Amino acid sequence: MRSMGGEQVAEAVAGAVALLRTATDRDWESARAGRLEWSCRSTAEHVAGDLITYAGQLAGRATEGYVPFEITFDEGTGNEDVLQVVETTGALLAATLRSTPREVRAYHPYPFRSANREGFAAMGIAEVFLHTHDIAEGLGLAYEPPAEPCADLLARLFPHVRPDTDPWRTLLWATGRGDLPGREPVTEWRWRNNLVIPAERLTLQGVTPAAATDLAAGGDGGFEWAGGGPFQGTRDAAGMLLKAYEAGAHRPEWGVFALVRREDGRAVGGMGFHGAPDEDGRVEIGYDLTEAARGNGYATEALRALSAWALAREEVTSVCATTDPENTASQAVIVRAGFTRVAAESSEGGEGGQSAVQFAYELRG
């Protein structure tokens, strides 16, 4: 999986500044930046402000709100000087990303009140790409960043958006800056960093489509795994998530979560929903653990946490799970998590095409 960190931020800033530097002799104060209400100059200042803000959030480990500081420019600051500030703040964010451990999360409001270093890198790059587009449009310049990082941004920050053959045009459409054939115009949008649900010894970290792509292809999804890597069930779940994303049907909060140990930041398994709640408010959970992590109560702990999160949602009335009759270990996990066995269900696809029996369990709020 392509990383998204300091190197990518530096590349994005360098490309933007190189283009805008060709037009520093123009009037940035009077020129409106694309569809924005801001001038080209104030938009460039905004980019610098976002880059330093993201660096400050991570460096200060802010968890409850934004660190209360901002950039101010000296009197007489010209266009070239503004670009120098953009370069400097980009370098500060890049350096912060390189020195921040993977498990660190800091405050960001949308939509789950936190982001990790990958999320802040993605948001920083998106700010650079999108606002350079705005400024370039206002100054009559042509700008288009490379397709690959645009696709990465969509797969990390816009998991609810169905991808298209042109990632840059899709990113512009998703942020209200353009049109796509067959899709309604976007008038409101927000970043969507991954959901993280805390448990006692674990954190359940939402798997993005970017991570799911890597997991389904046999990679690590950007996680450090205990016991040599994820179990096959996690890879299969990642593949289903990826299909839903490609179809535009993925709802991130009802997707897949990596179970990450707090003590060492290693993933020990995967757990997730088989889809969004149905019309009766029923949602089903599946899970697995790496072999090296079994027998420690991790699955029970994670199942309790994810079930409690689901049942706290208004649209959920019950959480369900099924298991094979011979899988007594999984049955013990489900029962310890508070589920009650409700039925034995038959499903197609057993050996020789025969129906297979599974035990069904349910937990209600």
CATH of the domain at 305: 3.40.630.30
Q: Is position 358 within any domain? A: no
| Shared-domain flag, residues 249 and 218 | yes
Q: What is the mean pLDDT of residues 27-45?
A: 97
CB 289 within 8 A of CB 269: yes
| Shared-domain flag, residues 203 and 81 | no
Query: pLDDT (tens digit, 9 = 90+) per residue, 253-289?
Result: 999 999 999 999 999 999 999 999 999 999 999 999 9
Report d(CA 283, CA 263) in Å as an integer. 30
Query: pLDDT (tens digit, 9 = 90+) per residue, 128-185?
Result: 999 999 999 999 999 999 999 999 999 999 999 999 999 999 999 999 999 999 999 9
Q: Which has the higher per-residue pLDDT, 346 or 238?
A: 238
Q: Which of 314, 333, 359 is the C-terminal boundary of a domain?
A: 314
Nearest to 39 by CA among 129, 128, 135, 133: 135
Q: Is position 261 within any domain? A: yes
Q: Is position 55 within any domain? A: yes
Tokens of 67: 């660190």
pLDDT tier at 98 (50, 70, 90 boundaries)? very high
Given this model, what pLDDT does residue 228 score? 82
Q: Considering only 20-29, 247-256, 342-351, which range has the smallest mean pLDDT? A: 342-351
Which range marks the domain in which residue 74 is found? Answer: 6-174
- Nearest 5 degrees, angle CA 140-CA 144-CA 149? 155
The DSSP secondary structure of 60-103, one letter per residue, reads: TT--SS--S----PPTT--HHHHHHHHHHHHHHHHHHHHHS-TT
Report d(CA 87, CA 92) in Å as an integer. 9
| Shared-domain flag, residues 85 and 55 | yes
* pTM across the whole model: 0.93
Q: Which of 125, 140, 174 is the C-terminal boundary of a domain?
A: 174
Domain count, the chain: 2
Given this model, what pLDDT does residue 148 score? 96
Whether 35 has a pLDDT exceeding 60, the answer reads: yes
Report helix, strand or coil for 98.
helix
Given this model, what pLDDT does residue 343 score? 80
Q: What is the mean pLDDT of residues 200-229?
A: 95
The residues facing 357 across adjacent strands are 346
Report d(CA 158, CA 153) in Å as an integer. 7
Q: Which of 174, 205, 228 is the C-terminal boundary of a domain?
A: 174
Q: Which residue carries 């039925």 as its tokens?
A: 343
Whether 9 has a pLDDT exceeding 70, the answer reads: yes
| Shared-domain flag, residues 223 and 96 | no
| Shared-domain flag, residues 108 and 240 | no
CATH, residue 52 = 1.20.120.450
Q: What is the mean pLDDT of residues 202-213?
A: 97
Given this model, what pLDDT does residue 2 score? 75
- Nearest 5 degrees, angle CA 64-CA 68-CA 74? 160
Q: Is position 285 within any domain? A: yes
Q: What is the CA radius of gyration of the chain?
A: 23
Q: Considering only 75-79, 82-86, 138-142, which range has the smallest mean pLDDT? A: 75-79
Q: What is the mean pLDDT of residues 111-134?
A: 97
Whether 336 has a pLDDT exceeding 70, the answer reads: yes
| Amino acid identity at 78 | G
